[in-house]
Amino acid sequence: MNHPTVATPKPKRLSQAAIAKTLGVSRATVSLILRGGQGASEATRAKVIAAAAKMGYRPNALVHSIRSGKSRTVGVLAQPHDSYWRNVCYGIHDRLIDSEHLPIFLWNNDRRRSGREDYALKQIHRMLDRWVDGVILWPFFLEVYSQHLHEFQTRNIPIVAIDHSVPSGIGDVVESDEVQIAELIVDHLSALGHRHVLIATGPRGQGWADERFLALEKAWGKLTGTATHELRVPLGPNVADETAALIKGVLVAHPEITAVNACTDNIAKCAYAAARELGKRIPTHLSVTGVADLDFAALMGPPLTTVRQDGYAIGQRAAQIELERSAGLLSGPPRRFRLPGELMVRQSTSRALKS
């Protein structure tokens, strides 16, 4: 049996023409008043604004975009990976919304991306097809999408990266102050008598991982009688056991180590696991520090000493720079903006045992 085709009703949108007809004024007058122009009498202006509010009029952002060449949207290729990145995303969202801009969040989805080498380019084209005024990227996207970033550059769409350098210097960077973070950690541990330290960080090529390691190594190098050991560990899901095993191997090979500088709180969790397997108590036999102050750090046993990164402020700053670049208020070559961290001293650090 054939059923009759029922047309899907189109959404009704109240137009300026409808307001003009209701009030008996010209559409041009309504348009002038609703876009904040001058020239109409105060009485007419009051009537138009009251009628628009009563009738539920909303301005057509698409039409405005076509006329102005600005969509008032910003593409955000960053995902809420952990509590730090959730705060970054909140910061981006709130600053853009406060400025009457709409963030468009996209992120990598490994389940959907399997076997599709063009996924990165398609994500970028989704942004371009919506006329984004700018784009904000997090480190993973910069690595995966680096060969496609010219898609934005050739269209003069400003790029802001978070915690990672942009290839060829084509965009601004907002990041934590790695030198200040390192000095906070080293000052704290050196005051407790630690001189032999393991620095466990992410893979080479990750901007934040390289800079954090170099900053820690340099800070320790300023002190006499210190020795540091470098360990690069994998990042991502399902690598905790592998990372713990790598840390355990270094601790076994170098029993003189009394502290682990984990460059993330997640790596610090793996250092805890390695210490448990070796029968080392934290902080009696081994002090451990992290970076980020993720939502679980204060709940670890013992609570983790770490440097708190202000993800919300970083997100806000990234959004602000994007807005300024898009509006032409910030010009010149790409810049780096660094935000300080705050040391959170908890129970995972104590005085080094004397050998």
* Cβ 250 vs Cβ 257: under 8 Å: yes
Three-class SS state of 55: helix
State residue 167's pLDDT score.
67
Q: What mean pLDDT is predicted for residues 55-69?
A: 55
Q: What mean pLDDT is predicted for residues 287-315?
A: 96
Torsion angle of the four alpha carbons 20, 25, 27, 33, in this order, in degrees rounded to the nearest 10: -90
102-106 vs 73-77, strand pairing mode? parallel
Chain centre to alpha carbon of residue 107: 12
* Cβ 170 vs Cβ 153: under 8 Å: yes
Residue environment code for 147-178, b if the CB has 16+ CB neighbours within 10 A, otherwise e? eebebbeeeebbbbbbbbbbbeeebbbbbbbb
pLDDT tens digits for range 162-172: 987 776 667 89
In the chain, where does the domain assigned CATH 1.10.260 lie? Answer: 16-59
Residue written as token pair 């990145």: 85
Question: What is d(CA 250, CA 230) in angstroms, rounded to the nearest whole number?
Answer: 9
Q: What mean pLDDT is predicted for residues 249-276?
A: 96
In the chain, where does the domain assigned CATH 3.40.50.2300 lie? Answer: 73-176+311-339, 178-308
Nearest Cα neighbor of 81 from 27, 31, 138, 125 is: 138
Indicate if the pLDDT at residue 224 is higher than 60.
yes
Q: What percent of the chain has pLDDT over 90?
A: 50
Indicate if the pLDDT at residue 323 is higher than 70.
yes
Indicate if the pLDDT at residue 111 is higher than 70.
no
State residue 287's pLDDT score.
97
State residue 50's pLDDT score.
77
Q: What mean pLDDT is predicted for residues 231-247?
A: 91
CATH of domain 73-176+311-339: 3.40.50.2300
Question: What is d(CA 341, CA 182) in angstroms, rounded to the nearest whole number?
Answer: 10
* Cβ 324 vs Cβ 101: under 8 Å: no
342-344 vs 305-308, strand pairing mode? antiparallel
CATH of 178-308, one of 3.40.630.30, 3.30.1490.70, 3.10.50.40, 3.40.50.2300: 3.40.50.2300
pLDDT tens digits for range 11-29: 555 667 777 777 777 877 7
Question: What is d(CA 85, CA 315) in angstroms, rounded to the nearest whole number?
Answer: 9
287-292 vs 259-262, strand pairing mode? parallel
| 3-state SS, one letter per residue, for 168-195 | HHCCEEEEECHHHHHHHHHHHHHHCCCC
- Token pair of 212 as six digits: 């954090």
State residue 168's pLDDT score.
65
Distances (CA, A) of 197 to 245, 266, 283, 286, 288: 17, 18, 14, 10, 10
Fold of 16-59: 434 Repressor (Amino-terminal Domain) (1.10.260)
